[in-house]
Amino acid sequence: MTGAQPLPALHALAGRFPTGFVWGTATAAYQIEGAWNEDGKGESIWDVFCRIPGVIEDGRSGAETCDHYHLLDDDLDLLADLGASAYRFSVAWSRVLPEGRGRINEPGFAFYERLVDGLLQRGIRPFVTLYHWDLPQALQERGGWLADDIPAWFADYASLVVARLGDRVRDWVTLNEPQVTAFAGYQSGVHPPGVKDTASALIVAHHLLLAHRAGAAAIRAASSEARVGIALNLSPAHPASASAEDGEAARMADGAGNRWFLDPLFGRGYPQDVVERYGEVAPPPLEGYDGALDFLGINYYTRNIVRAAPGTKLGFEPLPPEGALTEMGWEIYPDGLREILLRVHRDYAPRELFITESGAAFPDGPDGDDPARVEYLESHFSAAADAIDDGVRLRGYFVWSLLDNFEWHLGFTKRFGLVYVDYETKQRTIKSSGRFYRQLATAGR
């Protein structure tokens, strides 16, 4: 199998997306940049965390990874070659503010200016994420996301970046997946700072929401043209059976994972049913809070199936995924993308929606032959087109990821790229999925 799609089918799929649809790919700074301590960059919490023995599956770190910092021009050419009309990347906070606040690192800004200018020269629209998990270590030492001051620190950082790039960048994503920052960092502890305490995770989630709002105001103050969004990881929660107990379990899983962020961002405060179950560890209310979103970004990978678990705090537990799985062990479930888009559209009516990430890991080799990813993309783009047919205001789709890269605590054991990266030589090879993406995006534009 080569993964080549018959052209008429591909054109039919591309034709289901409206003119002006945004064809993007996505990355994050720590996962691709490398150059962890070059040109004045400060340490981030990931630089520090990766040194702890045993926390990263292959014992490695993002210190070098794809070396995008030095191979920027090649990667810009790759993006153009893939036919992308947009690119979502993140700014490493500690590259521009080594201590998180105060002293500016000019070479850090120069890098992002070169990146943005290079995109614009190639007709590619930048979508900039301000926070994709790599907090400056200096701020961690002042309490990190648990500190009451962090919304203000984030807003100061945001206004600085927008002051530099806001004449060329319109689309800003404040935070990537606040649910993961809070719960992987402070409940399961698989991300830095490796804390395992639900009460702390809920305070961090609260501070992230406050930081989003403060950041959004700072972005708008620095640029009247700016459009502000956030990227949430959302997954439908399905009950394991038709029983009332499993139905309630699914409602709680949806509440804790999805509504916990959606409800406040759309001005409804925290979901009361989940607040009640959290009991004494619940955060203070968010009265009068609104995310003021120009667009909502959804990162979609899979669905969750849950059943009742009466002994647990929230009363549910996940079932092991079944059926066809990606190398992450996640069920391949394109219908869930349509379902979550439709549900968010109906329940929250965001002005605009973007799929800010969707993609899959498979055990790819250097030949770049990845028929499973081609199929994954085809089925998920179809699901996105179905949602558009249903009336969802979906404006764009960013494939995760442009390049194979550092998959956080899983190190380099998982490959998500449209482009294969040889981590020794740093050589890039466009995979079959990259060629499929190019054909689709080109036909769609």
What residues numbered 23-42 form the site for ligand GCO, per CB under 6 A? 28, 31
Give the other-Cβ count within 10 Å of 149's Cβ.
12
CB-wise, 263 or 407, nearer to ligand GCO? 407
Asked if 44 is part of the footprint of ligand GCO (rule: CB under 6 A), the reply reads no
Shortest spacing between CB 237 and ligand GCO, in angstroms = 17
Distance CA 36, CA 95 (A): 8
Strands 237-239 and 304-308: parallel
Which of 47, 177, 339, 404 is the binder for ligand GCO (CB under 6 A)?
177
Shortest spacing between CB 282 and ligand GCO, in angstroms = 26
Question: How far, in Å, are 187, 349, 388 from residue 399 at the CA level?
Answer: 28, 23, 17
Rg (CA), the chain: 21
Asked if 299 is part of the footprint of ligand GCO (rule: CB under 6 A), the reply reads yes
Shortest spacing between CB 201 and ligand GCO, in angstroms = 16
- Dihedral sign, Cα of residue 345, residue 348, residue 350, residue 354: negative
CB-wise, 177 or 331, nearer to ligand GCO? 177
Residue 327 bears catalytic tag:
no
Which of 105, 140, 176, 235 is the binder for ligand GCO (CB under 6 A)?
176
Cis peptide before 193 (omega within 30 of 0): yes
Asked if 357 is part of the footprint of ligand GCO (rule: CB under 6 A), the reply reads yes
What residues numbered 201-240 form the site for ligand GCO, per CB under 6 A? 233
Shortest spacing between CB 401 and ligand GCO, in angstroms = 7
Residue 357 bears catalytic tag:
yes
User: Interface with ligand GCO by CB under 6 A: which range of 75-83, 112-120, 176-184, 260-268?
Assistant: 176-184
Shortest spacing between CB 181 and ligand GCO, in angstroms = 10
Q: Which of 156, 161, 329, 317 is nearest to 237 (CA)?
A: 317
Shortest spacing between CB 391 and ligand GCO, in angstroms = 26
Distance CA 411, CA 409 (A): 5
Asked if 200 is part of the footprint of ligand GCO (rule: CB under 6 A), the reply reads no
Asked if 378 is part of the footprint of ligand GCO (rule: CB under 6 A), the reply reads no
CB-wise, 208 or 222, nearer to ligand GCO? 208
Asked if 258 is part of the footprint of ligand GCO (rule: CB under 6 A), the reply reads no
Shortest spacing between CB 136 and ligand GCO, in angstroms = 18
What residues numbered 415-444 form the site for ligand GCO, per CB under 6 A? 416
The torsion angles phi and psi of 269, rounded to 5 degrees, stand at 70, 180
Asked if 407 is part of the footprint of ligand GCO (rule: CB under 6 A), the reply reads yes
Q: Which of 33, 331, 339, 357 is catalytic?
A: 357
Q: Which of 135, 66, 45, 160 is nearest to 405 (CA)?
A: 66
Cβ neighbors of 223 (< 8 A, separation 6 or more) are 162, 166, 167, 170
User: Interface with ligand GCO by CB under 6 A: which range of 97-105, 172-180, 290-298, 384-392?
Assistant: 172-180
Summarize as ranges the residues that interact with ligand GCO (CB under 6 A): 28, 31, 176-177, 180, 233, 299, 357, 400, 407, 416
**Where in the sequence numbering do the catalytic residues fall?**
177, 357
